[in-house]
Amino acid sequence: MNSVFYVIAIMGCGDGQAQCAQQRVETARYASAAQCQAAMPAALMRNTDLDFPTITAACRQIGTSMAGRPGRDRRG
């Protein structure tokens, strides 16, 4: 079973992107990392109200994938 999805984490950083800390997580979920990355520019534009010199975004994988997990016998 595969229940993996991606979300966009919005991070606020000090000058020079030092000391970045997650500030928000967008509510939208994406089926792939590529879809998530494509949505990052718009997510950054929605979060310009944060009071940090630099705002960045990163895609975070959420959930678990049963495929390929050690110790799981898939023969039945």
| 49-75: average pLDDT | 75
| pLDDT over 90 (residue 75) | no
Does the model's pTM come out above 0.85?
Answer: no
| pLDDT tens per residue across span 14-54 | 887 678 899 999 999 999 999 999 999 999 999 999 999 99
- Confidence (pLDDT) at 63: 87
> What does the DSSP 8-state code read for residue 17?
G
Compute the C-alpha angle 41/42/45, nearest 5°.
90
